[in-house]
Chain A
Amino acid sequence: MNRFAELLDRLTYEPGRNNKLRLMTNYFASTPDPERGYALAALTGGLSFRYAKPNVIRSLIAERTDSVLFALSRDFVGDTAETVALMWPAPEAEKPNAVPHLSDVVTLLSTLGKAQLPVQLARWLDALDETGRWALLKLVMGALRIGVSARLAKTAAAALEDKDVTDIELMWPSLTPPYLDLFAWLEGRGEKPATQDPAPFRPAMLAQAIDDSDFEKLDATDFTAEWKWDGIRVQASAGINDKGTRVARMYSRTGEEISKSFPDLLESLRFNGSIDGELLILRDGRVQPFNVLQQRLNRKTVTTKLMSEFPAHLRAYDLLVDGDEDLRDLPFEARRKRLETFVARLKDSRIDISPLVPFDTWSELAAARAEPASVGSAEDASAVEGVMLKRRESPYVPGRPKGLWWKWKRDPFTADAVLMYAQRGSGKRSSYYSDYTFGVWTAGDEGNELVPVGKAYFGFTDEELLQIDRFVRRHTTKRFGPVREVAHTPEQGLVLEVAFEGLQRSTRHKSGLAMRFPRISRLRWDKPPGEADRLETLEKMLEGIERGQTSPLIAERKSRT
Chain B
Amino acid sequence: MTYLKPMRAEDLLLPTPAGVCCERGGFHIDPTRPTDKAIITHAHSDHARAGHGAVLATQETLDIMRLRYGPDFAGATQAIRYGETVKLGDVSVTFHPAGHVLGSAQVAVESGNLRIVASGDYKDAADPTCTSFELVPCDVFITEATFGLPVFRHGDPDAEVGKLLHSVQLFSERAHLVGAYSLGKAQRVIALIRKAGYDKPIYLHGAMENICRYYQSRGIDLGDLPLVRDRKKVELVGTITLCPPSALKDVWSRRFPDPVACYASGWMRVRARARQSQVELPLVISDHADWNGLRAIVKATGARDIWVTHGQEDALVHWCQTQGLKARPLDIVGYGDEDETDGTADAGQAGNPA
Contact = CB atoms under 8 A, between A and B. Distances in A.
Interface in A113-146: 130
A77 B344 contact: no
Contacts of A83: 151
Contacts of B270: 76-77, 82, 86, 430
A428 B276 contact: yes
Contact of B272 (A66, A431, A462, A469): A431
A12 B274 CA distance: 10
A77 B272 contact: yes
B315 interface: yes
B102 interface: no
A73 B319 CA distance: 13
A13 B279 contact: yes
Interface in A450-495: 462, 465-466, 469-470, 473
Contacts of A465: 344
Interface string A406-434: 00000000000000000000011111100
Contact of A72 (B279, B312, B340): B312
Nearest to B314: A72
A73 B276 contact: no
A78 interface: yes
B276 A86 contact: no
Contacts of A98: none
Contact of B151 (A12, A87, A428, A431): A87
A466 B344 contact: yes
A13 B275 CA distance: 7
B324 interface: no
A14 interface: yes
Contacts of A427: 272, 275
Which of A70, A72, A429 is most buried by chain B, counting CB atoms within 10 A of its CB?
A72
A93 interface: no
B228 to A, nearest CB: 23
A15 interface: yes
Contact of A431 (B150, B276, B280, B281): B276
A73 B272 contact: no
Given A76-B312, A87-B150, A431-B340, A69 B272 contact: no
A12 B272 contact: no
A77 B151 CA distance: 8
Contact of A12 (B271, B276, B312): B271
A72 B341 contact: no
A172 B318 CA distance: 53
Interface residues of A, number: 33
Given A69-B315, A428-B275, A431-B273, A466 B345 contact: yes
B151 A73 contact: yes
A469 B276 contact: no
A78 B272 contact: yes
Interface in A372-394: none
Contacts of B322: 66
A13 B319 contact: no
Nearest to B274: A13
Contacts of B275: 12-13, 427-428
Interface in B143-178: 149-153, 155, 171
A65 interface: yes
Contacts of B312: 72, 76
A194 interface: no
A73 B150 contact: yes
Interface string A1-26: 00000000000111100010000000
Nearest to B280: A13
A79 interface: yes
B341 A466 contact: yes
Contacts of B269: 86, 130
Given A77-B270, A82-B271, A69 B318 contact: yes
B272 A79 contact: yes
Contact of B149 (A69, A130, A428, A469): A69
B315 A428 contact: no
A521 to B, nearest CB: 21
Given A13-B281, A79-B271, A431 B153 contact: no
Contacts of A76: 149, 151, 270, 312
Interface of A: 12-15, 19, 65-66, 68-70, 72-73, 76-79, 82-83, 86-87, 130, 427-432, 462, 465-466, 469-470, 473
Interface of B: 149-153, 155, 171, 269-276, 278-282, 312, 314-315, 318-319, 322, 340-341, 343-345
8 contacts: A15-B280, A79-B271, A82-B270, A86-B269, A428-B271, A428-B276, A429-B272, A465-B344
